[in-house]
A and B are shown apart, each in its own frame.
Chain A
């Protein structure tokens, strides 16, 4: 193939291909995350969830997408038409742009920027313009209040989440997504374990940034109907929706890369000279897991009530079988190919585990009130994040001065931060809004 493409274009071929794949696959992925969300919710709420469209609701996302695309495009009379049209585009563009620096496995990355993390954070924060402009342009009180809440919330929690990430950057010494994963491999421990408080702060911050419950105030259904999306419908609404789920994958991807070892397999052989850390049989796990899913789907197929559902179920089984085949084939392929394919598998597995945690939290907790949200951000998370960053700095000095190991050096930091966290949590501020009125 190389001789067909001029050498001057060659370096751009693969990134463009990846970009096309991401833009094509992401809406589908977002749709299926919605299905996963509904299924997880149903499971936690003692019911079944979608069951009608396709076997076990497997075609529900496609039906939803078709419905949204065919809906009438409504722009409210008194809306600012240009902004109303423009705002969802901002949100969705910025969400998609952030994928350019995300490393899904060692091979699958559009651009390995040396400022990768900074780029992702910068671009995904721009998405807030879409929300604020959309809320403003709708010319509705609910939308406006939702947009204002969103702006305030994002500014507060971006700070805390950013400080949580800095603790990792200090340890990794790089902003490049690849180098950060490499650093975790070199140090022999995922940063989520060495700086658990950095991970915790980022977890909370990322839920707030993506406007998910219990921080879903900008779109709090029971208060603001749908917040900034109140006046949107049909395709424009689905763009916002896509942006929200794309952002969820982005924050999960950042957390995976920085705290959960990126594409590294659990128990991977970090150092060739330390025997026993590598659990090599885990390499077979992805293939076996998908094979198991395939067999399970196959066993479910005869139980489906309608013929078309049986066929879809068999197709699902075949798809899983195909993936299992690819994963198994990768085992005997050259190491670079194998790492690329298995890396992508482990990365996505961790991303979905992180999103599952999001869902779990969402269906367990009530929603914060706005002043409580702000207090949690500014009085608890940001001081804690600062202490954590200082602690990590101290740990690095300990490591350099006394040659402490990468895990041992961080134990005092973690314990110290835990103490501060308990101290901050004890400060039980008044919960009523009364203090807000006294000019606070």
Chain B
């Protein structure tokens, strides 16, 4: 009764008597935005499509359960946790310094930013501050990392939408940034560039020149990407009006970063609560009004230009002096708790650290931007088409290492 045969294919049919029915014997879990009956029972024209955890464009191991009416998305549910490594729990069994490399493994395409957030949070807990030279170098590296992260986003986002070429151009420029990281600290991806209290390494000879050369070349490179995409009819068609998130919803969902700013909220922690050396430099916070995928694209492109601007200003005038604060070898912060957040490439990255006065933190809680921004997915995806789903996953700019931790 509950199913009709189509060839050897069984499909669920909507129940007539209102009783709950299952398709293929196992329950389909609640799809958000549906009442319970509609969630477990599919209409005659509806299918459930599991996108991921192995899928070319879910950016890792995200699994999206889509309820489809033809190509239209009737409901969706993000299922996460495939990359859970218990990072926060690990922190409770490591000393403060030992935990620092672990944070690089959360947002692994923006490891420097993760490190900055953690180091500054512990410094705040200790009641100390990194010396001015260290703060400026941190700012430069973090802004380079922001460009690298945005480049990776741009390449993969364009790839998802079907533009095959920009990803290689983006990686070409990202390579230059990674080379600077490699020269500075020996690592390219999970850099562990900063230490609690400042920096371990002095900048290498030619750091300023490398950064300047990259920034000068990069101005033309952004224009190159924009030539390929910004006014491309197909690109505009695929992104304008797709995945709209208005300002009120964005704030209610706790969305931060470029996604929030594209919805018209001018909120950037670099301006709102300056950290590192951001208060010394001039830069703008780009915002857009309509909060669609195209606006998020424009905002991120402009952010890369602004990051370049910050780098150029900072590299001109790196103060002399020590690179490490005097904090001693064994860190025993006084009992207490601290929350410190920075503007990571993907949004607000916060660390909430509780100390019980020992060498190991009592609790470290991370507020990862990707995880919280991903909440907005269902709101954005509802009523769109399958092709929009990949555009929306791309535009939120998630890294599953950070979502699952």
Contact = CB atoms under 8 A, between A and B. Distances in A.
A141 B49 contact: yes
A431 B236 contact: yes
Contacts of A217: 387
Interface residues of B, number: 43
Interface string A331-348: 000000000000000000
A213 B238 CA distance: 14
A371 B384 CA distance: 11
Contacts of B47: 141
A44 B68 CA distance: 37
A430 B387 contact: no
Nearest to B389: A223
Given A221-B56, A222-B159, A368 B169 contact: no
Interface in B201-236: 228-229, 232, 234-236
A433 B387 CA distance: 10
A215 to B, nearest CB: 10
B128 interface: no
B164 interface: yes
Given A80-B7, A141-B47, A432-B242, A47 B56 contact: no
Contacts of B49: 141-142, 145
A141 B71 CA distance: 11
Given A222-B57, A362-B164, A78 B8 contact: yes
Contact of A369 (B163, B168, B172, B237): B237
B383 A433 contact: yes
A224 to B, nearest CB: 7
Contacts of A47: 168
A327 B68 CA distance: 58
B9 A139 contact: yes
A13 interface: no
Given A366-B162, A431-B236, A433-B384, A145 B56 contact: no
Contacts of B13: none
Contacts of A364: 163, 165, 228
B241 A216 contact: no
A84 to B, nearest CB: 11
Nearest to B383: A437
Contacts of B55: 225
B188 interface: no
A136 interface: yes
Interface string B366-385: 00000000000000000111
Interface string B1-15: 000000111000000
Given A366-B162, A366-B235, A367-B234, A46 B8 contact: no
Contacts of B68: 141
Contacts of A430: 241
Contacts of B160: 222
Given A222-B390, A432-B240, A370 B385 contact: yes
A370 B385 CA distance: 8
A6 to B, nearest CB: 50
A46 B229 CA distance: 18
Given A431-B237, A433-B72, A434-B241, A367 B161 contact: yes
Contact of A366 (B161, B240, B384): B161
A224 B241 contact: no
A223 B384 CA distance: 13
Interface string A127-146: 00000000010010110010
B57 A45 contact: no
A371 to B, nearest CB: 7
B387 A365 contact: no
Given A367-B162, A369-B387, A436 B72 contact: yes
A213 B47 CA distance: 27
A41 interface: yes
A220 interface: yes
Contacts of B304: none
Interface in B34-79: 47-49, 55-57, 68, 71-72
A214 interface: yes
A198 B55 CA distance: 40
B400 interface: no
Contacts of A125: none
Given A139-B9, A431-B240, A365 B234 contact: yes
Interface string B238-266: 10111010000000000000000000000
A136 B49 CA distance: 15
B8 A365 contact: no
A153 to B, nearest CB: 12
Contact of B241 (A220, A363, A367, A432): A432
A214 B234 CA distance: 9
A378 to B, nearest CB: 16
A225 B72 contact: no
Contacts of B390: 222-223
B388 interface: yes
Contact of A222 (B162, B235, B385): B162
A372 interface: yes
Nearest to B50: A141
B242 A145 contact: no
A365 B162 contact: yes
A369 B8 contact: no
A368 B234 contact: yes
Contacts of A369: 237-238, 385, 387-388
B7 A366 contact: no
B116 interface: no
Contact of B165 (A45, A139, A367): A45
B165 A220 contact: no
Interface string A366-383: 111111100000000000
A44 B56 contact: no
Interface string A415-440: 00000000000000011111011000
29 contacts: A45-B164, A78-B8, A136-B7, A139-B8, A141-B48, A145-B386, A214-B234, A217-B387, A220-B162, A221-B56, A222-B161, A222-B162, A223-B387, A223-B390, A225-B55, A363-B164, A363-B165, A364-B165, A365-B232, A367-B238, A368-B162, A368-B238, A369-B238, A370-B71, A372-B234, A372-B238, A431-B241, A432-B242, A432-B244
Given A78-B8, A222-B160, 17 more contacts: A41-B164, A44-B165, A45-B165, A45-B169, A139-B8, A141-B47, A220-B387, A223-B390, A225-B55, A363-B164, A363-B165, A365-B162, A366-B229, A367-B238, A371-B385, A431-B242, A433-B72
Interface of B: 7-9, 47-49, 55-57, 68, 71-72, 158-165, 168-169, 172, 228-229, 232, 234-238, 240-242, 244, 383-390
Interface of A: 41, 44-47, 78, 80, 136, 139, 141-142, 145, 149, 213-214, 216-217, 220-225, 362-372, 430-434, 436-437
Nearest first, the 8 A-B pairs at minimum CB distance are A367-B162, A432-B241, A45-B168, A222-B57, A366-B163, A222-B160, A366-B162, A369-B387
